[in-house]
Each structure stands twice: as structure tokens, then as C-alpha cells.
Structure 1
Amino acid sequence: MKIKLILACLFGTLVSMQAQTSVKTPLLENPGSITGKVVDKNSNETLPYVNVIVKEGDKFVTGGITSEKGIFYIKNLDLKNYTVEIQFMGYKTISTAVTLSTDKKNADLGTFALKEDAIELKGVDVVSEKSTIEQKIDRKIINVGKDLISAGATASEIMNNIPSVSVDPQTNAISLRGNSNVRVLIDGKPSNIDASQLLQQIPSSSIKQIELITNPSAKYNPEGMSGIINIVLNKNSKIGLNGSINNGVTFGKTPKINSAFDLNYRNGKFNFYGNYGLKHGKNNNYGFIKSEQENKQNTQLFQFNNLTTSHLAKVGVDYYINDNNTVSFYTNQSFFNGKGYGSTDVDYVNTASTDLLQLFTSDSKNHSQTYNFDYKIKFKKEGHSLELEANYNENDDPENASYTNLNRDNKSLINSFTNDVATLGKNTIINLDYVNPLTETTKLELGLEAREESTANNLFRDNAYSSDFTYDRTIYSAYATLGKQWKKWSFQAGARLEQYNVEALFKQASSADGQFKDDILSIYPSTFLNYNPSENNSFNLSFSRRVDRPSIGQVNPIREWSTATIDSEGNPNLIPQFTNSFELNYTRKTKIGSITSGIFYRRIEDEITRVIFTNPENPNKQVLSFANFENNNAYGLELSSNLDFKKWWSANISVDAYQKKVKGTVETAPSTYEFIEVNATTFNARINNTFKATKDLGFQLFGMYQGRDQSLQFDRATMWKMDIGSSYNILKGSGTISARFSDIFNSMNFAFAGDRPYKSNGQFNWESQSVYLGFNYKFGSGKNKAIQRKERDKNETQSGGGLL
């Protein structure tokens, strides 16, 4: 009630301010007044906080809002002719003429029954039992249900359940269609946080949708060879106060908690929303690598324990100035704190070599903050709009690590050192998007964007300056697309022009400075052709040109992590890779659901790939880094379906196969480099079954298989697992208890083997086998209908394409 009173007072103040700018405030009150009542036409329930606007012709005079009982009373009116408008989001506006005179100074308009606007109303924003897959013209949308929420505590853990998506369990690197050059967005916006870390911080219960945009149009930023993965967080604008609470515990070797809280308050011209997610727990990882390097054969045993706590919050407000003008603001705040403990045990076969035991500890923190402002104007013509958006992101990421090297046999100290790394990234994007439906069948879209990014990274070793690295880039772009429909055909063509500038400076103690500059003007065309012979059949052919510019992690020469035998660092000499992507999709709707099949072909220039080579400064260690390889080709076939076999049984099924020719120069033996070609084929399959036992009780059965994958230096072994889950609705459907047993057979692990630059094999394990218990509770005083916050909220990336 206090919140409602505060909002009512705030709104009243704003209306009063507007009224003061429209008419002069009289010294004496005018004698006229208007009163009435507003109810819902279907339920006959009174509607509080409905906007009541009084106009004289087209001129705004004054206004007010209805009370808790749906009653409004507007006084201090001149005795004139007025038009009274009753406006409420989600309902059709009602207008009526009123005449105030000396004979009728007080007008009682009686009861207004507002009818819901079918265009603006959506279904209740609640979590469905099962996830659904929706195929759009340019994207695949996965609506996250309870089956995926219970699949894991974080976004990273549920991504392996998504068609065409894979997450490397060792590095948490995400890939789409077998390629890791993918752009990850949150609510359609980029972040300076590395995707592998970002996915670990987002609670699965905070995710509403996951969008896979495999061949984006020219209106989207062209970065990401595989396309875009957009994660849409929960939000709604149901009338009144609404929200949900999610709590879960995952039991592996140690328990881990994850909680999320969503809240929304919508009334009158304002919509306030926010969500908060917490993840806390200890993760245990272990593995081994056997190396057959000549005279240095060894077995390395790894043990890692990481205690992490992350907080993710989003708070925002929309202000509907009128039907045609909307102002929005939100902020994302992310806090991460991690403490790591680990050991690397190196046992050399050659007794002349000293066996090593490296112990390390790390303390890492991260604070990422995003601020977004948006102003949208809708013109009189349907679909005609202009939108200005500004987005600022800052990411502060310090890490303090200490390493102690011991003689493995007698535990005597060999050496020890500390590494303190600080990273500060800033990202500013300003874009302007214009949409104009020239005719009923023709639409023009134009956009401008300015983007500035800067990253500063420095390393102190043993509390003394070692090196620092700055990386600044600016991108200015403009795009235009033109779409046309005729009968069963539709066509869209466009192009994006981008000016890309980058400057990097690497400084290291006792070494000359290293500089890198690049200045590239590029054009990125795209075309889409759609044919719908019937309501149940749809064909889509598309082409786009993409670019993968080296990320800060790929070019940063400062150590990312280190073990007794391997250092991970970037390559500042990387150049962008370009991709020409072709795609053909066919969607068939049947009585039991929809089936989508597709094929794609990519031509990749100067492909960026992981490499490992002998450290030139220490032959006993290796460097894991990145390099540009030769031009490559990739092909793929995908099939996905969302089927309801019975009233009690439905399933999401997907299979895909990728073939790629990888070629490049790699180290085939210590200090020996050769040109190598590899033809690699990978097959993946997933099935997620949902069984409805009763109205309130459901079960899930999930299985996945990832086939063998090949690269120039390593082959990854097959991976598979099976999960079972269950959910039960309580409290008249407002509450849900979920349970899930993941990796029933404890079969999921990451195993590899290679022979370049020498023979080696290894395996890494994590807490894949686990039990999840969760509870979700929904509450709300609002009406059982949801209102669109904004048109772009239906698809964050779709209508805000100029800013990606």
C-alpha cells in the first residue's frame, strides 16, 4: 500500500507539472468538476490508478488517476466543452465528450467499462512446465521452462541442453554450431565480462528466453562467426505488484545454493521492475595429463577447489509519457568473488628430472555495471518509429595469485612468486534506429551506431611492476535494410558499413614497448528470402558476412593462468577473421508440433584458433595461445523439433552434424613447425522429454551425446550423459517443487589425446553427477494479464538491432 501511495503522489506531481505548463493556475478555483468510475468489462472489477485525461480540443488541460476503488474526481474546471480520455495500458482507450455549463457545473459520467486490447495483452508471464522451441525467420527462440531451470544452477550448466550450443566443461567456453566464435548478449546488450565467466554468474531461474541468431541481418553488429546467443532475463509488466522467488540447492561433492528474486510493479504511466540472483558454493575439479615428450615424459595430476559467490541484479523503470513516447532506464550490477586453491603434481619418468609439486591460491573479484537509457517515439503510422539508445558498461576485474613450487619428494622449496593482475574495461554504445513501413508490404530500416571500447590490464610480479597492456578500439557504423512482401514470398536485403580502429600498447619491464594498430573499413551485406507455400510449410534462404575481431583475452599477452608446465596468454598480433555464411532452413508444422531442418556453409578467412607450443624462454614449459590459420570451410546439418506425442508426453529433440576442414601451421615437434590439414566431423544429439502424470505432477528425462571432435593438435573424446527430473505444483499452482538427478551414470568427462608437438593424453572431471532441489513461488496482486513493457521486450535483439 505504501508503494502505491508513493507512486500515486509521484504521478500526481507530474500531472500537476504538466498541467501548469499547459494552462495558467488560477487564483480562485473554477466551479466545474467531472467524476466517474472505471471497471474491467469482463470481470466487472474496479481498476485503480487508471489515467484520466481532460482535453480542450487537442490541448491538454488537466488529468488524474482513479482511486483504489476505481473512482476519479477532477475539479477546478472552467465551464467549457471537453473531451475526457480513459487510458490504461493493456486496454483500449475510451473517449467521451463533456459539456460543463452554468446549468451543469458537475458532470457524473457514470461507469466506464474498459475492454482489453488484444494487441497489447500477452499471456501470464509464468514459468511453464516444459521448455519450448520457436522457429522465427532469423532466429530460434528457446522459452526456458522448469525442466531447464532444474537442469543446473547457472546459465552455463543449462546451455548444454540447448540445441546447437555446447559449453566446454574445462574452460566454460561456449560454442554455437561447433564454433566458439559466437557473440553472447544479455538482454540484447554486450558486456565486458568474458562469456565463460558471465554464464557462471547468471542463475538459471533468472532466464526467460535464449535466442539463437545464427545468420543475423545487416542491422545487427557483424561480430561472431557463428552468430549471436542472446540471453533474455525475466521481467514483466503485469498490472499491480507481482513477483517470484526461486531457491535451489545443488548437491555434488559439496552443496551449492542459488537464489533469484523477481519483482514488478506496474500502474499508470510507470512500470518498475527488478531481479536479483545469488550463487554461492565450492566447486571441485580434477584431472590428469600424460606427456610423452622426449626425455621429459611425465604425468601431471591436477586438483582444483574454487569457492565462488556471485550477485547479479537488474533494476529498471519505464515511463509511458503518452501512447507515442516512452522513456526507459535500467542498470545491471554484477559482483563476483572467487577464492581458488589447487595443486599440480608432476611426476617425471626420468629419475634425473626433479618431480614437482606446485601449490597455488588465487583471490579474484569482479564488478560489472551497465547503465542503459532508451527513448522511443511512435509516429501516427503503424510501425513507424524512431529510437535512441545509450548503453555504458564498466568491468573491474582484479586477481591476486600466489604460486609455490616444491620438490615433490622431500617438499623442499624450489621457488615461489605472486602474480597480481588488474583489468579495467569500459564500453560505450550510442545508436539511433529508424523504422518506416513505406507501404503495407514494404519496410525500410536505417540505423547509426558509435561504439568505444577500452581495456587496461597490468601485471605485478612479487609486488613489483612487470607489464601492462592497453587496448582501445572505436567502431562507427551505419546500416540500411529494405524488406518487401508479395503473396507467399518475402525478401529483405541490407548492408552495414563499419569503420574499425584499434590501438594496443604492451609495456614490459626491461623490454621495448610493443605497439599494434589497425584501421579497417568494411561492408557487411545480408539477404533473406522466405517462401511460405502454406501455413504449415516455410522455407528460408539467407546470406550474411560476419567478422571476428580478436577479443581482449585473445590478444592480451599478460598471463591468464599458469601451471607448473603451461602458461596461458594471448597473441597481440592476431588479425580479424571474416566469414561468409549461407543458410537454408525448412520448417514443417504438423498436428503434433513443428520440425525445423537446416543446412549451412561457411567460408572462413584467417581463422582464429587455439595453439600450443614450446615456451621459447623456458623449454620445460608450454604456451597455450591463439593464432590465425589459413582459410577454412565448414558445413553443417541440423534438425530440431518440438513435439507433443500424447497429452501426457512431449519432447524437444535435436540432432546436428558439422564437417570442417582445419588447416594451419602448428608445432609438430619441439621447435619444429609444419603445415597441417585435418578433416573433422562432429555429431551431436539431444532429447528432452516431459511427462505429465497429473495436473500438478510432471517428470523429465534428458539425454545428450557429443561426438568426437578433432583439431590440429588434439582430438576430444565423445561425451554423453542422462538426467532425470520431477516437478510438483503446490499452493494452488503458485508454488513448485523441483528435483533433478544429473549425470545418472557419472559418464560425463572431458578426455583428449594428441600427438603435436608430442604425444599426450588427459582427462578432466568435475561435479557432473549431482542432485538439484528447488522451490519456486509466484505472487501478485495484479490482474491475470501481462502487458508489453515495450515492443522491443518481445525480442530484445530484434527491434534494437542497431545496437548489437
Structure 2
Amino acid sequence: MKPKKHQIKIKYLEQIIEKIFRILLLTHLLIGFYYDASGQTESTSEINGIILNQENKKAIPYADIRLFNLKDSLISGAITSYKGEFKLSDIPVGKYKLLINFIGFESKTINVDVFKKTKIKLGKIYIKPSYETLTEVTVKGDRGRYETLIDKNIFIPDTNMIKSSASAADLLGKIPGLKINRLNNTVKIIGQDNTTVLINGQERGGNVNIATIKPEDIDKIEIIKNPSSKYDGEYAGIINIILKKKVAAGLTLTLEPNYFGKMHNESFINIEYGIKKIRFFSNYMFHYRNHPVLQTDSLTTTENEDVYEKISETEYNKMQETGHFFQYGFDYFINDKNTFNFTGDYKIINADRTGAENTETYLNKNLYDEFSINMRTDGNYLMQNYSVYYKRDLQKKDSYFTTDL
């Protein structure tokens, strides 16, 4: 009788998951219709500005800009450029609150009233660095600590940190030495561009979307700045997220509509189901980017006051990319020493990239040479990745055996 009971549960779970994916698909269609329709209305405005550091007056790139109505519903959002500039388009008439956030700075809220179709220029907006002066330090909690070892640093979050974190990105953002990219939910070690993220010591194909990990499932985080030969020397830094082996029973659904205006969408849904020693997971992400990038660089070489050479390079790229990313699998915690995992990745991407590059060389203010190139690539891409992972912890501390197919 017991096997039949499990079969009924699994069949019921499959029906729930199928309904959820149908709802998600319908939601994306409705969102797309809404924004297409709103873009055609005439009573819409544009809001722009530039975010600066109040102390040194320098631009702040990659700051998070979000626009809410008076009911605290998200209307639009953006990420500042490397010059600190942002622009919110297709804003209907109404009263709003503009929220500005950036790691290491105080949050700032600005009231914005849109009365008619116009361009609202907020100009220079200064935000303050956040400092905290501690006169006394009191350590509470049973597990909150930071350990420094020869080959790695280990961060173990305490209960308060986990409860105050809405997502894994929030939790990792509190760890010294880590930098969070809110645009695509990735994390890296500061100063180590070639960083990869492992889950329980396993690389799960491509960049790990940390938004799919619940803070309460994280046991500890290992930060490895100089990986040993066992990682094949492929990466300059490794962030290993160790999950708790105790599985939370029941069904968990996470939905994040990460809409950053018409130029960027990273909305996703994550489903987890725990039963005894097994954690099943499945997630879907709708990916859309339409980012024009203009970059100008120059190099001047001077021999004396009268003779010099200047090379000016201008590069323009526009990328439009639409994708559907699926991931599924399960973790099986056989016992305290043995762990088994299966993960499957399936990605469908349609990309259209155009670009132009122009290089000019001047000798004493006279154009000496000019070189131009135009580029375009487009097509559909299908990527699949499947992995089977087994880990056995040995008796000696930090010693284990793994195999990955």
C-alpha cells in the first residue's frame, strides 16, 4: 500500500507544477500585452537623472533605480550606466516615489509628480555613503562567524542574518569581499573577474542564478581566492555555497517579476518540493535584453611639445536577446557522508547583435589613418547540459571523494 501512496503524491505534485507553469506562461503573455499597449498611449512621460557620490561627486554605476506608485506597486526600474545616468520611459500620469539603492550607500526616496507628457529631468542626485561607528560590539547567536583558513575563507551566517535576508543575493551581499550583480543575480569575488559559483562543491552548468536559492537553505559559504589544482586551474576565484542537508518538507514556490523597463527582463519562477532526504527543484526564467552600448576611448603619446600621436576609438554595440531558461533536478542526501545530485539545464536563445567600430589616428592634429568595421550576428541557439554528481565525505577533516559526469 505504501508505494501506491507515494505514487498518488507524485502524480498530485506533477498536476500542481503543470498548473503553475501554465499560470506563469499566461502571466508573461499578459505582461507583454500590457507594456505593448501602454507604450502606445500618448499620456506618457520620461524620467531621467544622474546618481552621484555626495562625498567625491563621482558617478555611481549600476545603482538600482525603481519607481513605485502610491500603493507601493512597482511601475518601472533601471540600472544606472557607467556614467551614473538612468532613464525611465513610458511613465503614465500620476504621483510616484523614486527609490535609489546601492550597496554601501544610504537609500534615497524622491517624490515625482507626472502631470502631462514631458521629459522630467531630475538632474544630479547625490547619495551618501553609509558608515556605522561601533562603540561596543556584542556577538550573539550560535553560528555567526567568519573563519580564515590557509586555502579558503568560510562564512557561516547566523539566524538574524538569514531572517533579515529576502533572498540569497541579500545574504551574500552582506559578506565582505563579495560583489552582487543585481541585474542578472550573479555573484563574484571583488578583484576576481573569472569567478564561478558551486553548489555543494558542484558546478551546475553556466552561471548559477543565486535568486533560486533560499537563504534558510544555506549552511555556509566558502570563498576560495586561489583555487588548487583540483579545480583544474580554470577559475581565479570560487564561491562554494553549501546547503543544509536537512530537507524542508513540502512545496515551496518563489516568483520574482524582475522587470527593469523595456530594455531588460529577468523574471523567473522557482519550485521546490522536499520529502524526507530528497529535495526536488525546477525553475524557469524569461530572459530579455535590449541594451545599446556606446564606448569611446583615446590614447595620446607625446614625444615633445610639438610631436604627438592620438588614437581615438569609438565602439557601438546593440544586442537584442530573448531566451527561455529551464533547470530541473534533485538533491539526495543519502546520509551524513553521502550526497547525490542530478541537474539538467535547457536554454533556448534568439540573439540579434549589431555593432560598429571606428578607429582614428592623428599626428599633430592631422588625421593620419582611419579604420572602420561593421558587425552583425543573429540566430537561434539551443544549449543543453546534464550532470550527475556524487560526493562522499571521508573520515579525515575536509577530505572527500567526488565524481561528476
- Give the TM-score taking structure 1 as reference length: 0.25
The structure that has the greater radius of gyration is 1
| Structure with greater helix percent | 2
| Structure with greater strand percent | 1
